[in-house]
Amino acid sequence: QVQLVESGGGVVQPGGSLRLSCAATGFTFSNYFMHWVRQAPGTGPEWVAVIWHDGSKDSYADSVKGRFTISRDNSKNTVHLQLNSLRAEDTAVYYCAKTLLPTGGGEVFDVWGQGTMVTVSS
């Protein structure tokens, strides 16, 4: 069964840091680009970041560029998102998501995790 399980969310003060993790099972993880998507309360999803299947490249939304870092460990089937210099507007549920097709064949998301809540508040 294909599954993604996120962890690492919590409450953090503005300017603080968190590291989110996503554990993948049920598919050949090293063949797929992996993405993080977030959703603030009452709003639509917002794409955050992607990492290539082999970890050779990544890309970020302008709203998080320079503050967030995506990484992956294909030996452990995990993807991470390091969140630094957090702001109130980063408050959201953060999802990791698997693409429908392997190796960059199509950036739509057929499997999502359950999400992990990040709250940035003093």
The residue ranges that bind other proteins (CB under 8 A) are: 35, 43-47, 50, 59-62, 95, 100, 106-110, 112-115
Residue closer to other proteins by CB (options 27, 109) is: 109
Q: How far apart are CA 117 and CA 70, in angstroms?
A: 17
**In contact, 41 and 25? CB cutoff 8 Å:** no
CB of 72 to other proteins, least distance (A): 17
Q: How far is the CB of 75 from other proteins (least distance, A)?
A: 26
